[in-house]
Structure 1
């Protein structure tokens, strides 16, 4: 009996020593148990009342997900701007490795930059470029961290317009507010009772609402169009909000790439739509020709005079990328003088 008590006392003493060691370690080296600054920032934001501002909620990106950024056009704050959102609250984003469509179209990158600077100046939008060549993800997966980086750099933004490099803004007289982004306009143009196509939706199609109230419009975080294959991520708008920052962080999660859930970011978006109704609910579907016209296609997808954008998706199939690029670039140049005249008139009326 005495021997058993002696052994128990040794065990208790040993446990006591281990406990003391743990307390000492935690006290001296407590920094190793603390969360990162970014996580603390996010936790502090979400612990605030819902009425608080969220201008500074976006947390820093990991170093390997940051690219060199250049603001090619900085918008001017104009208090008397009558539009909603105001012009300086819109950011046009290009993120690429600076290559011209794999080197197949000479000077494409420079001409793309010039085209977007011209449009941003005409309407007082921000135009941002992020070089993704140093990021630790393939370029097709780099657009999400590039958008997050832009959210951090431009806290005044309400909407960020992602537009692929192989696209040109043709109708540069159209303002994004008048064409798409004002709440009343969105309520009017969003596709209603329309299936959201996805490579994963053969057994189930998500339908957009039959009607949109203004309250519903204000809950949307992603505005995008679709072609015959599903949602197309060549041109889309992201609202700057905590919800969308979290979604973008999830959208480029490497586990989806490494486990072959989807072959590219566009397909993964279709996966989310099929299997996550809460994500589908924050996506607003726009007619394709409003933001993402193709050179050829059915009437609801092919470019016509007056459309905002031409996107050369699939031009490589017939080896016509350079031919089509130069053809539509000439249309942009022809429209430039008219745009400058319209901008001068607008400025005289409001500023």
Structure 2
């Protein structure tokens, strides 16, 4: 019986059979997606880094360069709408004239004021300027009127974009020594280095957050004083610039105004300083008598002859005319020193 031989295996390779066309189609689709993604990424990289030199040059050329004219703007917010008698009316007028007289001493401002509520003092000559406004000039909604100081300083920066420094001095205060200039008395590098109090608890007596021990005069943008209760916002100085805008906008943030701090903007400032190193790193606390002496020693350093200014801290709580009464002994005195 013959058996059929099993079929021989062919020695050549099997004929080529094309694969399903579905796989190449998927691969092509993926490759296309990857290619588009890579192109998009490269475009974004070029947009933000490739043209950075152009953007930086545009930014540097468009950034405002402060000329320092005027050197200083004195900012005061008044509440003259609520005056109740001649005594208070004359007191407000005296304070306004005090500010203008100090500015005139270091520049040119019109004197005397025609009306005690006149605030439009703006001349085109180099010298100190004043920014005297009413708290009702600003929309504060339900927040305490003391917050107006923050807006007023920000307003003054917009009104005098070339000023070097801004000095906020509250209504219930008088400038007593016209010979002291802010840029020399406070901001001169040697004096600021010598006067700034380093490693000081921000909130006395034992706050764990303290002023920087390695701070230099070049670092300082904000100058404040401290009394027995903590930081004082009745008299403070700020260097005009981008940091100042950032700081004031942060301070006036609706979140902080909604906290209902007991001392409103003062406690808000203490909160910000303790929680934001960006602000603490630019803050200098100086001795109180340099810009913020008090009428009495109850709350802080008492005024002495030769001090730049005197504040009647807390006078509004003593009586309706308490501020005018406390200021009375100094009203003729400041005029004598300015003569």
TM-score (norm 2): 0.68
Structure 2 unaligned blocks of 5 or more: 1-54, 108-127
CA spacing shift, 1:100–1:287, aligned 2, 3 Å: farther
- 2:135 and 2:148 in contact (8 A); partners too: yes
Alignment match of 1:175 (pick from 167, 171, 181): 181
Alignment match of 2:157 (pick from 151, 159, 175): 151
- 2:227 and 2:299 in contact (8 A); partners too: no
TM alignment of 1:112-151, pairs within 5 A: 112-124=95-107, 125-137=128-140, 138-151=144-157
CA spacing shift, 1:142–1:316, aligned 2, 3 Å: closer
How far, CA to CA, are the matches of 1:226 and 1:101 in structure 2?
30
Equivalent residue, structure 1, for 2:203: 197
CA RMSD for the aligned pairs? 2.8
1:219 deviates by: 2.5
1:172 deviates by: 1.3
- 1:169 and 1:310 in contact (8 A); partners too: yes
How far, CA to CA, are the matches of 1:86 and 1:255 in structure 2?
33
Equivalent residue, structure 2, for 1:330: 332
1:185 deviates by: 2.1
| Per-residue CA distance 1:173-227 (angstroms, 9 max, x = gap) | 21222211222221222112322226xx86x432223354xxx322222100010
Alignment match of 1:89 (pick from 42, 50, 71): 71
Equivalent residue, structure 2, for 1:266: 266
Alignment match of 2:64 (pick from 49, 55, 72): 55
| Per-residue CA distance 1:281-310 (angstroms, 9 max, x = gap) | 111101001111011117971111111100
Partner of 2:294, secondary structure, is coil
How far, CA to CA, are the matches of 2:257 and 2:210 in structure 1?
27
Structure 1 unaligned blocks of 5 or more: 1-46, 58-84, 338-351
Equivalent residue, structure 2, for 1:297: 297
The answer to whether residue 212 in structure 2 is matched with residue 209 in structure 1 is yes
The answer to whether residue 258 in structure 2 is matched with residue 252 in structure 1 is no
Equivalent residue, structure 2, for 1:74: none
Partner of 1:160, secondary structure, is strand
CA spacing shift, 1:148–1:56, aligned 2, 3 Å: farther
The answer to whether residue 111 in structure 2 is matched with residue 108 in structure 1 is no
1:100 deviates by: 6.5
How far, CA to CA, are the matches of 1:95 and 1:189 in structure 2?
28
How many positions carry a matched residue from both structures? Answer: 258
TM-score (norm 1): 0.66
- 1:231 and 1:266 in contact (8 A); partners too: yes
TM alignment of 1:273-288, pairs within 5 A: 273-288=273-288
Partner of 1:296, secondary structure, is coil
- 2:103 and 2:130 in contact (8 A); partners too: yes
1:48 deviates by: 4.0
How far, CA to CA, are the matches of 2:184 and 2:69 in structure 1?
11
| Per-residue CA distance 1:100-128 (angstroms, 9 max, x = gap) | 77767332221111111111111121112
1:312 deviates by: 0.3
Mark the structure with the bigger radius of gyration: 2
- 2:103 and 2:129 in contact (8 A); partners too: yes
1:88 deviates by: 2.4
